[in-house]
Amino acid sequence: MADDKGIDSSVYKNPVWKVVLALLIILAFVYFFGEIFKTNEAIQRYKITYTQFSAELKANNVKSVTIRGLALDGEFIKSVSLKPVNDIRPRDVKNFRTFLPSFQGSDLIAQFESKNVAVDVEPEESSAFWQIALAVLPWVIIIGVWVLLMRRMQSIQGGAGGGLFSFGQSKAKLFDAKKPSISFKDVAGMEYPKKELEETVEFMKDPSRFSRLGAKIPKGILLIGPPGTGKTLLARATAGEAGVPFFSISASEFIEMFVGVGASRVRDLFKRARDMKPSIIFIDEIDSIGRTRGTGLGGGHDEREQTLNQLLSEMDGFEPHEEIIVISATNRPDVLDPALLRPGRFDRHIIIDRPGRKDRLAILTVHLRNKKVASEVNLDDIAKGTPGMTGADLENLVNEAALQAARDGKDRIYKKDFEDALDKILMGTKREESFSAEERKITAYHEAGHALVSFKLPYTDPIHKVSIIPRGISMGVTQFLPEEDRHYYPKKYLVNKLSVALAGRASEKLVFKDVSSGAQEDLKNATSLAEKMVAQWGMSEKVGPVSLGRGEEHPFLGRELAMPKRYSEDMAWIMDQEIRNLIVEAESKADELLNNNRSTLESLAQALLKDETLNREDVERIIKESESGARKHEAN
């Protein structure tokens, strides 16, 4: 804030400014006394002209001289009545000072020798001020750099006060309950999680209602869900509904380069929460400090595990009905230490899944509150066409659509803007690159193969769009969009999905009698899916209904290396054969479909080469026209 004179008063509160000001005062002090010293010396040694000095030298009245650069200090044998420089009346001068011309050399020394003058030569005189300044300057730089580093570290760690001695203080941000905050009404969807948290809100408002019946509220609530589903938003809404102080911190902020700092910050955080109870502590991404102890290839005694131990101690050390609730969020519950999940700590787990169609509609409505949207936009259609998207994805979709409309100079957001934004999110950004005609042709037949096999096989996801415009890292893309959210995947659906994935390669092999590297990602996804079908989901008759763990992703390298295999080498060979059989059979099915519908494949590929992008209606129309033409040709 600036004062009446326009000067920023915050400058005077800056520690760096105070240090600089103090150093300037010290240097001015040194300079002032240096000048006084030089003045006193000038009083004792009168400054005379070089002409007066030459006259006395010729008169053999110079006893000794000391030369410092061009300055010459000397002593007369007898005092001389002279008129010193800048003086009005003559004085008796015994000690004097004068300055030599720059062209004086060996001749002057010869004169001194002939006159028996004692000559002394000293280094050129330097100012006492600069001597002290040069001695102090390195320390000024060191202190200044240190202060700036401390302030930089303080700003990175959240701006908390304390500077150098604040390492052990918690970096949690406190949201004041008296200020306007969000509530459950501001959180779209998530009806089940909100219902679960209403009990927590009721306890914070009226703890006696539960305590008189002997009931205990959970000390810790763990919000589990994929990234972007609104875990942090829901925690803040809980605090807003309860109207209590809300401490928010990311678990990574506990960890510091110094051992023991994380544990100290945990203690400080819980102390602050106790001082303001009832209160809520929210720890985001708790898996960064709450991972299972003793895992990995290295030792287990490190700063992170000490921080976790202190957190476990603080949570278990709560007194009954202490009116402090810890809410944490994670998208990796499988890596958390079992001690965190036991009753008495995080004993209530709330699953926050990806929103369904109804919830997506509510989320879109919230994000479009303050945006100008054309009347042609149907939010229900957008919600239907975005299965699997989280709240953060939908917010990004709305923002991308608004940016697209602004780039095109529109006064509101239209349906086309949402379609372009969805294509950008699902398929990637267009790449403005030139490709050869041969590459475009291979890409067209590859994507046409995916589209045709998907259309012909039952239980597959509908086509959303087919494009040979390079997007992201792909030369082309066939995008599928499920009509509804899926939670179970039948074997017939997965088998046909394998055929669709391998149809691009099959199309290249049929048309060009060769295959390319363009199917790399398709082969990778198909192999991974087949491995899960055989080794985890019990979809192989030879392997049987067992889960052997092959293909599982382990969060810790050490655990994966140390864990013994749950199958023998013979079983591994059988699984390899079953995985290969699934992929080979799926490719054979794709080969057969493409052979039987070669003319339709040609029609789709030519349409892609012409238009570059086909939507679902275009694909269906081309396939139906091609089949109708083929039937007429056979009839004739």
Spatial contact of 217 and 202, defined as CB atoms under 8 Å apart? no
**Residue 265 exposure: Cα atoms within 13 Å on the Cβ side:** 32
Q: Cα separation of 285 and 291, whole Å?
A: 11
| Catalytic residue of the set 253, 447, 531, 578 | 447
How, if at all, do strands 46-47 and 91-99 pair? parallel
Tell me if residue 74 falls in helix, strand or coil: strand
Cα–Cα distance, 561 to 435 (Å, whole number): 44
Residue 591 neighbours by CB distance under 10 Å: 20
Q: Is residue 438 packed enough to be buried (19+ CB in 10 Å), middle (13-18) or exposed (0-12)?
A: exposed
* Spatial distance between the Cα atoms of 254 and 269, rounded to a whole number of angstroms: 10
Rama region for 243: left / alpha / beta (φ>0; ψ in -120 to 50; rest): left
Question: Which DSSP symbol is given to 430?
Answer: B
- For residues 283 and 328, the answer to whether their CB atoms sit within 8 Å is yes
Q: Could you identify the residue written with the tokens 């679960």? A: 196
**Residue 317 is which amino acid?**
G
* 196 has catalytic annotation: no
- Cis peptide bond N-terminal to 278, omega within 30: yes
The residue behind tokens 């006394």 is 33
* E runs forming strands in 507-583: none
Token pair listed for 201: 């809100």
CA nearest 365: which of 510, 572, 538, 186? 186
Under a CB-based contact definition with an 8 Å cutoff, are residues 622 and 604 in contact? yes
C-alpha span between 523 and 211 (Å, rounded): 60
| Interacting residues of 94 by C-beta distance below 8 A, sequence separation 6+ | 75, 76, 79
Residue 81: DSSP 8-state? E
What are the distances in angstroms from CA 532 to CA 300, 522, 527, 547, 569?
A: 32, 16, 9, 9, 18
Identify the CA nearest to 216 among candidates 226, 234, 203.
Answer: 203
Alpha helical stretches, state H, 317-388: 338-341, 357-367, 379-384
For the annotated catalytic residues, the residue numbers are 447
